[in-house]
Structure 1
Amino acid sequence: MARSTLALLAVAGLASAGSLLAPRQDNETKPAVDITALNKNVSATTGSGAVSAAGTLAPFGGIGVGCGINWAEGQSFGGGLQSGSEAFGLGGGFTITKDTMNIGLGIGINPINFNSSVSYEASTNGTVSLVFTSTSAIKCEETTVDGVKGVKCTST
Structure 2
Amino acid sequence: MNIKKVLLMGGAIAIILFFGWFYIGQLGSTESAAKEKTTVNQIKDSEQVNAKADEGTESTLTRIDSQGAVGIEVTPLPEKSSSDELVFEIVMNTHSVDLLQYQLNELAELSFGATNTTAGEFEWELSSKDSHHLVGYLKWMGPVMEDNVTLEIKNIDNIPSRVFEWEKLK
Calculate the TM-score normalised by the size of structure 1.
0.36
Instruction: Give the structure with the higher percent strand.
Output: 1
Higher relative CO (CA 8 A, sep ≥ 6), structure 1 or 2? 2
Instruction: Give the structure with the higher percent helix.
Output: 2
Larger radius of gyration: 1
